[in-house]
Amino acid sequence: MLEDTSFAIHPGQKKQVKNRNFNDIGKVIKFEQTANGATVQTESGDLKIVFYRADIVRFVLNPFGDTTLASSPALIAEPESVDFLAEDADEDILLQSAKLTVQIKKNPVRLTVSDQDGNVLIREAAKGMGYNHSNEVICFKEMDVADHFYGFGEKTGFLDKRGEKMTMWNTDVYAPHNPETDPLYQSIPYFMTLRNGSAHGLFFDNTFKTTFDFKTEKDGYSFGAEGGQIDYYVMSGPEPKDVLEQYTALTGRIPIPPKWAIGYHQSRYSYESEQEVRELANTFLEKGIPLDVIYLDIHYMNEYRVFTFDRARFPKPAQLVSDLKEKGIRVIPIVDPGVKEDPEYKIYQEGVQGGHFCKYIEGKIYLGDVWPGNSAFPDFTSSRVRKWWGEKHEFYTNLGIEGIWNDMNEPAVFNETKTMDLKVIHENEGDPKTHRELHNLYGLMMGKATYTGMKNQLEGLRPFLLTRAGFAGVQRYAAVWTGDNRSFWEHLQLSLPMVMNLGLSGIPFAGPDVGGFAHDSNGELLTRWTQVGAFTPYFRNHSAIGFARQEPWSFGEKYEKIIKKYIEIRYQWLPHLYSLFAEAHRSGTPVMRPLMFEYPHDANTYQLSDQFMVGDNVIVAPIMQPGIEHRAVYLPEGQWIDYWTGEEWAGEQHHLIKAELDVLPVFIKKGSLVVQGELKQTTEMKDEKLTVHLYYGDCTDYSFKLYQDDGISFDYENGKCLTKEMNVICQDGKVDLTITDRGKFQPDWKTVELVIHGVCDNISVSVNGIVKSAIKKNEQMFTFQL
Ligand code: GLC
């Protein structure tokens, strides 16, 4: 293709720059206080200001018609009743809640949002809100020299997006994901600003193609859309954790995943027959490599017709699923949205007859080319269609399947635009809109249909859904994998900031294809990538047709041994990780966190893209280059212990760390806890014994909430779960551990051991005030029975 050559930058190729010519919205004409805020009549329409909570305020303006308070399906929150003061002065209007102050300058309209201490969070200066005659809307804000920007969902590049310009338009990108590759599959029009250690958030609830520009202007940024209203929320923070809590109060949090979904997953495009799948499962079992899930990619279907099996390749799917489940392995099939155009195919017939497919306004069904050839696309904006699609999953649940993999749901179409005709109309519950407006919602709404359908049919069991595309709020239904990466070291590096920013965008359950999807992987890369995968929230090895196999044993024994060790470590860490997932469910806090999230006052963490935290006390600093056995590691405030050697490292410093191929550098903060279970083949095996590791060091207030429930049902919603809140005080050779049980659930484990690391002399340990004596002492470790 000529576009792939230098022809792309031929002088005659210069794309026409769109006439942006934004109009300012003018001045205030009238002010009116409302129950939750105010309506400010401007020269360009009504600006509505609504307090959702004292710490969350929404701004809405439609310059082209009536301003509506209707929201996108990203939103699950309704405004609470908030106490606030309103003052209408000559030059400005003030609205003040306990946490936020909104100042509206009257002529021209300029907004400033400040926190309770008067610190400005967001300010419009020379430029404010605008619109143009192509129905585009835009908001300009000041940018402080100290500002750093995070979130934006699934983006390439480094952690901090200052200096970047990003677009939200769900796109299937098989071409290599480069720093300049934008957009990708997800649209999360949200970000967090960190300024001098304090954070605030902004969510732009607009489903059109949106742009976030932190590049064009030196001291300002903007966000805008190709249509729709100006509609955004400001969240006050001030801690990064608070922003996540606030953002996920608006858009929802993850359900607690089934425990099996946080085990190790094996995939390939494709395991092509029942025989191959059985052999694969047996190899894992024979080699004793833990495994919870095997994926069926598109070859399981009859000519890629969803809700079918190719009976020649998969003659007895129910038997296969149940035989594997007996061994603790689940099967997850892929389900794409495209339904093959075939008048003899039941799903197509039902879709046409029920009016379930997306159509042109004139009534013709839209057909696009995907894996099955010409295909129709369910209109997931309609609850009727979602119900139909959800119920179709009976086909899978009847076979014993509990998880589904949604792919190509941007939706991807094999054509120049890569997606559906923008003129296609979506029903949208009686409020029809074009695909141009609702494109970014397709994956989210397919997720809603699939998750809800599976949940209904699984009668109390937790479904697991994996999705490629999504919009803000997708975390309510699905885990996200980051699409078609490649077996490049650069893609391993890139996956860290990408998954961290997904976590900061309310999506804590995410991960890349471990080993890389396209291109040929190799032993060293797969080993280093699996080490990282063991600590990333979603852990799946997946690779593409036509490239090297990359199951754990594919590159010989040397690598297999290390890969196995790290998959085992994942299983050992499950009680700890599962507790972090429960925390994400409770508060939106991500499982995998950038260091800035825990150390927002430490400027060394702001752009740290090659290290991450698991929870609040574990730092992982992987090796992500070939042939390298050393790297610089930054450790923030506190003292840190090398997980493997027990060696101590000082915080607020960079260190040169050695890590041979079998070592993933992991550091635990002194004075904190890690809880581990036993080595096991699958998550189905219960922990008889639990080990609480305490890394001795001065601390007065560390706490970890160990969470346990049955791991498979929704009974936790009715209180059948146990949270053991463990508070630690370590000082002067003394450890005081207080354990408070909350909730009712009989845990799996029969014994719990406390191992204290990092003390050579005697130590006095009390648990809930009772002094304990050690049952074992070796090297620098004391073991106690709890
Ligand atoms: C897409 C997916 C990939 C999958 C393939 C075949 O490329 O991103 O994961 O294996 O389609 O279904």
Measured CA to CA, the distance from residue 149 to residue 154 in angstroms comes to 14
Amino acid at 355: G
Measure 407 CA to ligand 1 centroid, in angstroms: 7
Sheet-wide strand order for 137-142: 23-24, 129-131, 137-142, 220-225, 210-213, 165-168
Structure tokens at 416: 């120049």
- Our CA angle for 757, 736, 679, nearest 5°, is 45
Measured CA to CA, the distance from residue 607 to residue 230 in angstroms comes to 30
| Residue 513 Cα: closest atom of ligand 1 | 9
Name which CATH class applies to 608-786: mainly beta
- Multiple choice CATH, 11-251, 3.40.50.720, 1.20.140.10, 2.60.40.1760, 2.30.30.40: 2.60.40.1760
Q: What is the mean pLDDT of each run of 10 residues along the chain (786 residues)?
A: 68 58 95 98 98 98 97 98 97 98 98 97 95 96 98 98 98 96 98 98 98 96 98 98 98 98 98 98 98 98 98 98 98 98 98 98 98 98 98 98 98 97 98 98 99 98 98 99 98 98 98 98 98 98 98 98 98 98 98 98 98 98 98 97 96 98 98 97 96 92 96 97 96 93 94 91 90 88 89
Pocket test for ligand 1, best of 170, 375, 410, 517 (most atoms within 8 A of CB): 517
Measure 484 CA to ligand 1 centroid, in angstroms: 7
| Residue 544 Cα: closest atom of ligand 1 | 10
Measure 761 CA to ligand 1 centroid, in angstroms: 56
**Dihedral of the alpha carbons of 669, 670, 671, 674, in degrees to the nearest 10:** 50
* Ligand 1 pocket, residues with Cβ under 6 angstroms: 269, 297-298, 334, 407, 468, 483-484, 517, 542
Pairing of strands 479-481, 464-467: parallel
| Residue 297 Cα: closest atom of ligand 1 | 12
Assess contact for 18 and 6: CB atoms under 8 A.
Answer: no
Measure 546 CA to ligand 1 centroid, in angstroms: 13
Nearest to 498 by CA among 484, 512, 488, 517: 512
| Residue 298 Cα: closest atom of ligand 1 | 12
Q: Indicate which residue's Cα is closest to atom 5 of ligand 1.
A: 269
Q: Indicate which residue's Cα is closest to atom 10 of ligand 1.
A: 269
Measured CA to CA, the distance from residue 784 to residue 110 in angstroms comes to 63
Measure 505 CA to ligand 1 centroid, in angstroms: 24
H helix or E strand, kind and range, residue 498: helix 489-504
The catalytic residue positions are: 407, 410, 484
Please report the pLDDT score of residue 17 as a whole number. 46
DSSP string, 520-578: ---HHHHHHHHHHHTTSSS-EE---TTS---STTTT-HHHHHHHHHHHHHHHHTHHHHH
Q: How far are the Cα atoms of 60, 381, 382, 427 from residue 430, in angstroms, in the given order?
A: 22, 10, 8, 6
| Residue 270 Cα: closest atom of ligand 1 | 10
| Residue 334 Cα: closest atom of ligand 1 | 12
Structure tokens at 107: 């002529």
Nearest to 113 by CA among 243, 25, 235, 242: 235
Q: Indicate which residue's Cα is closest to atom 7 of ligand 1.
A: 484
Residue ranges, comma separated, of all CATH 2.60.40.1180 domains in the chain are 608-786
Measure 319 CA to ligand 1 centroid, in angstroms: 26
Pocket test for ligand 1, best of 295, 407, 491 (most atoms within 8 A of CB): 407
Measured CA to CA, the distance from residue 666 to residue 668 in angstroms comes to 7
- Cross-strand bridge partners of residue 655: 633
Q: Where are the alpha helices (DSSP H) in 332-382?
A: 346-353
Q: Indicate which residue's Cα is closest to atom 4 of ligand 1.
A: 269
- Cross-strand bridge partners of residue 221: 141
Measure 467 CA to ligand 1 centroid, in angstroms: 11
Q: Indicate which residue's Cα is closest to atom 3 of ligand 1.
A: 484
Nearest to 515 by CA among 483, 495, 490, 486: 486
Please report the pLDDT score of residue 533 as a whole number. 98
Measure 254 CA to ligand 1 centroid, in angstroms: 24
CATH number, span 264-274+290-481: 3.20.20.80
Measure 408 CA to ligand 1 centroid, in angstroms: 8
Measure 297 CA to ligand 1 centroid, in angstroms: 7
Pocket test for ligand 1, best of 272, 408, 543 (most atoms within 8 A of CB): 408
Pocket test for ligand 1, best of 269, 270, 306, 370 (most atoms within 8 A of CB): 269
| Residue 484 Cα: closest atom of ligand 1 | 8
Place of tokens 């990408």: 498
| Residue 408 Cα: closest atom of ligand 1 | 1
Measure 210 CA to ligand 1 centroid, in angstroms: 26
| Residue 336 Cα: closest atom of ligand 1 | 12
Measure 519 CA to ligand 1 centroid, in angstroms: 13
Residue ranges, comma separated, of all CATH 2.60.40.1760 domains in the chain are 11-251
Residue ranges, comma separated, of all CATH 3.20.20.80 domains in the chain are 264-274+290-481
Pocket test for ligand 1, best of 186, 484, 542 (most atoms within 8 A of CB): 484
**Helix, strand, coil percent content, the chain, rounded in steps of 5:** 20, 30, 45
Pocket test for ligand 1, best of 174, 185, 297, 375 (most atoms within 8 A of CB): 297
Structure tokens at 605: 């963490």
Pairing of strands 510-511, 479-481: parallel
Hey, CA dihedral for 679, 683, 688, 694, is it positive or negative?
positive
For the full predicted model, state whether its pTM sits above 0.95: yes
Measure 335 CA to ligand 1 centroid, in angstroms: 11
Please report the pLDDT score of residue 779 as a whole number. 80
Measured CA to CA, the distance from residue 605 to residue 595 in angstroms comes to 6
Nearest to 289 by CA among 327, 316, 323: 327
Contacts of residue 11, defined as CB under 8 A and 6 or more positions apart, other chains included, come to none
